[in-house]
Amino acid sequence: MDSVTRPGPTTRARVRQVSAGIVRDHRDDLATEEPLEIRIQAGEARRTVAITMRTPGADFELAAGFLYGEGVIVPGDLSSIAYCTDADVAPEARYNTVTVRLSAGRLPDLPALDRHFVTSSACGVCGTASLDALRGRCSPLPDQEDLRVSPEILYGLPHRLREGQGVFGKTGGLHAAGLFTVEGELLAIREDVGRHNAVDKLVGWALMNGRLPLGGHILMVSGRSSYEIMQKALAAGVPVVCAVSAPSSLAVDLAREFGMTLVGFLRDERFNLYSAPERVVP
């Protein structure tokens, strides 16, 4: 693997810029988008679970977070995560293939493994569990009476998220997900061409550092809040999810059913509360 070039989060490209009738050629940084194949292995058995388009970086966290969010693994299941060096993987694809080794002696027998998940950076997992299936593995979040956040704290989250987006500053083409305390302290931030991938990376970070569940925390995402994002936040136990744009109808349904506080259009010192508004107090 030492002779293989590892893909980075940005890719240089030649572009022609036209501005006010002036034409010039120059180099530009693009957000890298490449596939990542996620495999799980238990004993000698191995299986591909997902192929997702992502921005390289924090690949192990992405794999762990995805598997946890889909209910394939729980804390304690991980034995190791590594890039794949199997003979069936071409050298140029080795940094795009991750094997998650489980501590169990056999692969989990879950409906999620009855097919391969094929995801894109835009839509998340296609054909994943509906609300009915989610009810079977997730419970409503408890209403912690001491978990309250002020509007002033929320106002500052978009700026703090933007400050932490180093790759976005170079490319202008990445989403971000940030994990905050209720006091507004930024604990971790991850970027990706897919907003759901950025959330998976954060959840994977928390899983691999023994921080799950994430009660008492705020998840802030760039763009809109979708069902996939809310599903992943629920699995991780996040009680408050904020987005700079609008939520989808299914995201609101999920938040209301499972007791999550969903904040949308968080910008310019204003926001909408779609569910569990009691957690946000002046």
Residue 213: cis peptide before it, omega within 30 degrees of 0: yes
Structure tokens, 189? 């931030």
Residue 281 has a CB neighbour count (10 Å cut-off) of 9
Check if the beta carbon of residue 255 is closer than 8 Å to that of residue 282.
no
What CA–CA distance (Å, rounded) separates 92 from 95?
A: 7
- DSSP H/E element including 249: helix 249-257
* Distances, alpha carbon 95 to alpha carbons 10, 20, 86, 106, 234, in Å: 15, 42, 12, 25, 30
Biggest alpha carbon–alpha carbon distance for the chain: 65
* Distances, alpha carbon 104 to alpha carbons 43, 45, 53, in Å: 7, 11, 28
- DSSP H/E element including 247: none
Residue 242 has a CB neighbour count (10 Å cut-off) of 24
What CA–CA distance (Å, rounded) separates 115 from 70?
A: 13
Catalytic residue among 84, 123, 126, 138: 123
84 is catalytic: no
DSSP one-letter code for 111: G
Catalytic positions, please? 123
